[in-house]
Amino acid sequence: MATAVTTEIRSLLGDKAESLLGFNSPKIPRERLHLPGPDFVDRIFMQSDRNNRVLGNLGWMYNNGRLGGTGYLSLLPVDQGIEHSAGASFAKNPDYFDPENIVKLAIEGGCNAVASTFGVLGIIARRYAHKIPFLVKINHNELLTYPNSYEQILFGTVKQAHDMGAAAIGATIYFGSDDSHRELIEIAQAFALAHELGMATVLWCYTRNAAFKKDKDYHVSADLTGQANHLGVTIEADIIKQKLAENNGGFIALNAESVSYGKLDKRMYSDLASDHPIDLCRYQVANCYMGRIGLINSGGASGENDFAEAAMTAVINKRAGGQGLISGRKAFQRPMAEGVKLLNTIQNVYLDKSITVA
């Protein structure tokens, strides 16, 4: 019997409901995956080289909020004041110029953790660092260089995040960019120090290169984002944040112009993925050590159909074997009560036991 929550989710999915909820023929079977669950930290990280303090902070994150104890994550990220400029990000709702409202939204919205900048989290740390896990984003694209350039630069130190009482640090690497080598070395070192100090690590595994836009935008291709994920878990990210895959064949397209780029095997496209969005996302999960490292997909920009898009992304991620969503603009660019409702809508997908892994 359908619950009220299931009915609401089906309604939000509209004509995509059957395709997404009825899909049960993935190229990579679920039996090959390490799936989220209440015992995820014990089952996966107890075997790893992470120390007891890292395990403790991972346990805090996985056991906090409405999804606490499920193995799934719902995170609120608000670093757009840097990444997209504060005026452009907060004009829709100026209340979020005030950092306290960001943390209040995460708490009232039932999130596992709140992710933001050194400044945002630092200014209210004594009041809130013990109430919700802090995920400090340590690098950003500052977006004030003229003309705009796209490089991730450190805004503080790992020790600062530790002294603040953060449970985790987060960082972005623009894989494929001219700056990627520096970013990779820098963040690998930062993650090693964070683990030494007992903090978990989350990597925004983004691709960025003007050449990736061809007939399609291959910044969101399953093969390129999947390889970015695989590089991310290689530097021991404990959680991978990635944009939801929308297409495939990035390596094929980029090699079609007689330019040697990367490596591919045609079975990546025939045996390991199809055009179905759940299969495309599952390929992203597979590149996270078959789910040993959790994949959380980003919620994307705010628009006219935020609730429907959020529900769809959550369903795809969950049914693919992913571990949750990290959604910011869709939540904070609206009144707080609506933002809470949107976050709860996402969480309801992961709480609904009738929505299973394909």
**Active-site annotation, residues:** 241
Strand 139-140 and strand 153-154: the pairing is antiparallel
Q: Is 111 left (phi over 0), alpha (psi -120 to 50) or beta?
A: beta
Closest to 238 measured CA to CA, from 77, 13, 53, 24: 53
E strand spans, the chain? 73-78, 113-116, 134-137, 139-140, 153-154, 168-175, 200-207, 239-242, 294-298, 324-326
Q: From CA 293, how far away is CA 316, in angstroms rounded? A: 17
Count of CA atoms in the C-beta half-sphere (13 A) of 346: 34
CB neighbour class for 82 (10 Å; exposed up to 12, middle 13-18, buried from 19): buried
Task: Please state, in angstroms and rounded to a whole number, the distance separating the CA atoms of residues 141 and 79.
Answer: 10
In whole angstroms, what is the distance from residue 72 CA to residue 322 CA?
8
Specify the 3-state DSSP secondary structure of 189: helix
Tell me how far apart the alpha carbons of residues 301 and 311 are, in angstroms, rounded to a whole number. 14
Do β-strands 200-207 and 324-326 pair in parallel, antiparallel, or remain unpaired? Answer: unpaired
Q: State yes or no: cis peptide before 147, omega within 30 of 0.
A: yes
- Residue written as tokens 């970013």? 183
